[in-house]
Every structure is written in C-alpha cells, then in structure tokens.
C-alpha cells in the first residue's frame, strides 16, 4: 500500500474487518518484525525472499487450511 507502512495497513484492515487474518512478508529479521507486531493480531510471517511453496504453506498456516 503506497504511503502506508505495515502497521498502518494492519490497523486499516482490522478496522474494515476485525477478524481479518494478516500474514506479513518482509526481508527484515523475523524476530525484529514479530516483536514489533506482537499482540497486534498477525496470523503469520513469511521471510523474504521465499519460494512459491513457502508462500502457499504460509497462507495455509495463516488461514488454518
């Protein structure tokens, strides 16, 4: 989302649909990102770069499917 950071996007999505499942993807260190978003309702994290299989598995994990 141009002009928004990850936290702002998460808050905006949760305002539209409070139970939305959001999986974050970033090239930053996973521990650092997870700490930054702790308690904010992230459904998962996918470290960049990633392969298509990792994306499919990450979405499945985040959605519980």
Q: What is the pLDDT of residues 20-62, one digit of tens each?
A: 998 888 898 888 888 888 899 888 888 999 899 999 998 888 8
Confidence (pTM):
0.74
pLDDT of 64 reads 80
pLDDT of 1 reads 63
pLDDT of 16 reads 96
Q: Which helix (H) or strand (E) holds 62?
A: helix 52-63
Would you kindly state where each structural domain of the chain is located, as residue ranges? 20-63
| Mean pLDDT value across residues 1-26 | 90
Which of 34, 20, 17 is closest to 63 using CA atoms?
20
Which of 41, 46, 47, 55 is closest to 13 using CA atoms?
41
Q: Which helix (H) or strand (E) holds 8?
A: helix 6-16
Which of 17, 10, 59, 15 is closest to 39 using CA atoms?
10
Asked if residue 24 lies in contact with residue 46, where contact means CB atoms within 8 angstroms, the answer is yes
């Amino acid at each position: 989302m141009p002009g928004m950071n990850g936290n702002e996007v998460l808050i905006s999505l949760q305002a539209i649909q409070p139970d939305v499942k959001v999986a974050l993807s970033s090239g930053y260190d996973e521990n650092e990102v997870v700490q930054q978003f702790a308690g904010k309702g992230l459904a998962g994290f996918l470290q960049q770069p990633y392969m298509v299989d990792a994306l499919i598995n990450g979405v499945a994990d985040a959605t519980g499917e």
